[in-house]
A and B are shown apart, each in its own frame.
Chain A
Amino acid sequence: MSDIQIAGLFVGALFFLILMRVPIGISLIAVSFGGLWSMFNWNIAWGSLGIVPYNFANSWVLSSIPAFLMMGFICYHTRLTQGLFSAAQTWLSGLPGGLAIASVFGCAGFAAVTGSSVACSAAMGKIAVPEMMRNRYSPELATGTIAAAGTIGALIPPSILMILYGIISRQSVSQLFLGGLVVGIITLAAYVLLIVVRVKLNPNLAPPVDGNRATRAEKIKALGQTWPVLLIVIGVFAGLFGGAFTPTEAGAIGALLSMIVAALYRTLTFRAIRMAVVETITTTAALLIIAVGASLLTRFLALSGIGDALSSSILAFGVSPVLIMIGVVVVYLLLGMMLEPVGAMLLTLPIVLPLVDETGYSLLWFGVVLVKLLEIGMITPPMGMNVFVIKGVVGNAVSLTAVFRGVFWFVVIDLLIVALLIAFPDIVLFLPRWMN
């Protein structure tokens, strides 16, 4: 059997294990181990188990994930969030699905702070999802909205993925950021539109719009109740753009700030802290074992020589630039089902960059499209890290399947956006060009 066939066989086994409800992290580790063993030998497979988990978690940048989770859990358990959504409801009372729309805007705000979409979903998940569910939003819409809106986190700068792409492809990071900003805003607008349309078409998804529009006095009063969260968000923003701390440090500052604000709000009990901490560490551990497994799988796939197979399958789509790009999109959608973005990027860029270069599309444009594609992978089954974060945050109240159902329409919209970007590359390029 060739290495590629072995890889295919073990990826099939991965799908099988996951569908048989074996925990995803365990499935990934088992399959990568088995794959390395059968392709090489016991020593290599056994060695990988000792090297990857420690070195993966030993990461400064990764520390923003538990920190942002902690911030969200503290805000939630000390009830700092309760004013936020009544305010959103008052202000957006004329719009169907107002809370969901407010959440998308909230996510975009967080996106400007964090560089990763997992951190974004983590922070917003606990704040927004329970509020929506208490307000009789369908669980699928509530969870799907946040999981999808989290993907905006890597599009709107700062963005870890774009920095990494800039380093590998030697493209300007600040120009990538500008292109990402445009696509992030387009995504934001498209999500809002999608929610409005879906709720109009299916009134069961969200509570009916309040007949009486809120008065101006009511609106201002509602705004007054949002001060705890506003204080935290403004504090984090001010520090970040004032040069006081990095995006990685922002999570810790946000978590500490939320504890201080909760203390001022007089809801910071020992019990609230304990519950927030337990949820933070169990969610982090549950996510990181999957990330470790995905990282192991990336090594197995790299050694299998899947790169060459990829480039030939992309070229099989034809030789015209648009067809090659469609091939690239299909390949990344498939990869996105199983790999996390950084692994997928490291694995494929050495093969894909020269291909894209030949098509005549700009590498700057491709970086933005690639981040968008990788972020779509964050919400597609079976491996959808954002979906897992939301699942981890809401616990047993909503099934994983329901969250995946909830993101379905968002994925459809995302694919339309990608098609738009391929048809009109200038959408990505006009702002970087103009700013130069």
Chain B
Amino acid sequence: QESLNFAYGYPESSAIGIAVADYKSAVEERSEGSLSVTGFPMSLLSLSETSPGVRDGLADVGFVLTPYLPAEYSTNLFLHELNLLITLAENPTGKEPLAYTGAMLEYTFNDCPECLAEYQAQNQVYTGGGVTPLYNLLCKDVQITSIEDLAGKRLRAGGAGFVRFAEKFGAQGVRLPVNEVYEGLDQGILDCAMNSAPELTNYNLHEVVTDITLAVPGGAFAGVASANVNADRWKAMTDAQREALLWGGAQITASTTWGFYTDDAVAIQNAKDKGINILEADAELAAAVKEFAREDLNIVSDLFRDTYGVERATEIRDEFQPILEKWYGLVADVETKEQLQQLYWDEVISKVDPASYAQ
């Protein structure tokens, strides 16, 4: 029996901790007990250490976030940066993150040899992804529904794209690490944080937030390789064991994304129950957010092609869009985590050949 250590830089009780528990049972069952998985929440490797940690074998499997290593994962990161496409969905149903996850899986496995090469260069084997829900404005003592409301506000920005968003609307993008957002809002350093709703619970933000504007700035976090396997361990395994890990990859991808998707609904409902105001952008702001998304997609494509070394950036963007459109249809009927896992497995991961993949 082979035992695998799985490192993830989140608490055990988080959506990701639950997804890792699902992965463990999926892999152990599918491999008929020839593989066992032990999860290490936070203590073994921090978020920024997970990729090099899996590379050097400190963990056998890890929940890797590509934005921590932009030079090493530039193409993968570019796929994440296209997340503003979600904002442009014509008939939004709330299931866009589920579709984005599927599109990213499909594109990474089938159409993006440079993506897989980037993982290989870090001595890792990609087996799954995952996407968070939409970003909202989580505000304290400030209500934002119009373009004018945004002017002059201090908004927590988790990345360069959010700073561009803030600047576009005459606000300030303040870079603060997520664990300082609570105090930032509490002390008035921030007016709002651009974060997804589950962060209300994950970082106790519901204690300080008074108003939430949904789907502004939009977009989602997709820079996730949720179960990267150390390549040396992978190569030493039997085909059946590798197939079990791929099955686990489908599981953790579905569990992570589904966990966030349902947490989102729960978090927004809890916020309502706690008396937090849930606001919608007015028509003008909603249109401006879409306009920003369209412009920013061009900026991002140019940036990644010219500055960050993704030569195929424009081509990737054009190829990715129809795949995403296809996935909007595929996820329309998904109602459970199990269905989602089966969908990711049937459509993409089952087609990966365990004998030849990542050799």
Contact = CB atoms under 8 A, between A and B. Distances in A.
A244 B201 CA distance: 26
Contacts of A347: 43
Nearest to A43: B57
B22 interface: no
Interface string A418-436: 0000000000000000000
B49 A168 contact: no
Given A173-B204, A174-B207, A241-B187, A298 B58 contact: no
B176 A55 contact: no
B187 A173 contact: no
Interface string A303-327: 1000000000000000000000000
A55 B69 CA distance: 12
B58 A166 contact: no
Contacts of B189: 243-246
Contacts of B13: 168-170
Contact of A167 (B56, B187, B204): B204
Nearest to B186: A174
A417 interface: no
A348 to B, nearest CB: 8
Contact of A346 (B5, B43, B184, B201): B43
B188 interface: yes
Of B46, B56, B58, B186, which is in contact with the most chain A CB atoms at under 10 Å from its CB?
B58
Interface stretch (A22-30, A44-52, A70-78, A375-383): A44-52
Of A50, A241, A346, which is in contact with the most chain B CB atoms at under 10 Å from its CB?
A346
Contacts of A350: 12, 41, 43
Q: Give the bracket for the number of chain A residues in contact with chain B.
A: 35 or more
A174 B43 CA distance: 25
Contacts of A270: none
B119 interface: no
Nearest to B41: A350
A51 B57 contact: no
Contacts of B202: 167
B179 interface: yes
B26 to A, nearest CB: 21
Given A170-B13, A247-B183, A346-B42, A303 B56 contact: no
A55 B49 contact: yes
Nearest to B42: A346
A172 B55 contact: no
Nearest to B201: A170
Interface string A341-352: 001001100100
A302 B56 contact: no
B212 to A, nearest CB: 19
B58 A299 contact: yes
Interface string A150-170: 000000001000011011111
Contacts of A298: 43
A55 B56 contact: no
Contacts of B46: 55
Contacts of B5: 303
A55 B13 CA distance: 25
B206 to A, nearest CB: 9
Contact of A47 (B58, B183, B186, B203): B58
Given A60-B177, A240-B187, A246-B184, A51 B43 contact: no
A109 B182 CA distance: 22
Contacts of A247: 183
B43 A61 contact: no
Contacts of B201: 170
A158 B41 CA distance: 25
Interface in A31-59: 40-41, 43-44, 46-48, 50-52, 55, 58
Contact of B183 (A60, A164, A242, A246): A246
A163 B57 contact: no
A51 B11 contact: no
A173 B44 contact: no
B49 A51 contact: yes
Contacts of A167: 11, 179, 202-204
Contact of B44 (A163, A170, A302): A302
A248 B11 contact: no
Interface in B135-182: 176-177, 179-180, 182
Given A51-B56, A170-B201, A246 B49 contact: no
B94 interface: no
Nearest to B190: A243
A122 to B, nearest CB: 20
Nearest to B68: A55
A173 B49 CA distance: 27
A47 B56 contact: yes
Contacts of A169: 13
Contacts of A51: 45, 49, 52-53, 56, 58
Nearest to B180: A246
B48 A172 contact: no
A165 B208 CA distance: 17
Contact of A55 (B44, B48, B180, B182): B48
B44 A303 contact: yes
Interface string A8-32: 0000000000000000000000000
A243 B42 contact: no
A374 B179 CA distance: 20
A58 B47 CA distance: 12
Of B45, B53, B180, which is in contact with the most chain A CB atoms at under 10 Å from its CB?
B180
B40 interface: yes
Contacts of B48: 55, 58
A52 B49 contact: yes
Contacts of A173: 182, 204, 207
A168 B187 contact: no
B56 to A, nearest CB: 2
Given A246-B183, A246-B184, A43 B177 contact: no
Contacts of A343: 43
Given A48-B58, A163-B182, 15 more contacts: A51-B58, A55-B49, A58-B48, A61-B177, A172-B207, A243-B187, A243-B189, A246-B180, A246-B189, A248-B180, A299-B43, A302-B44, A303-B5, A346-B41, A350-B43
Interface of B: 5, 11-13, 40-46, 48-49, 52-53, 55-58, 176-177, 179-180, 182-184, 186-189, 201-204, 207-208
| Top 7 closest pairs, chain A to chain B, by CB | A47-B56, A243-B188, A346-B43, A302-B43, A168-B11, A347-B43, A346-B42
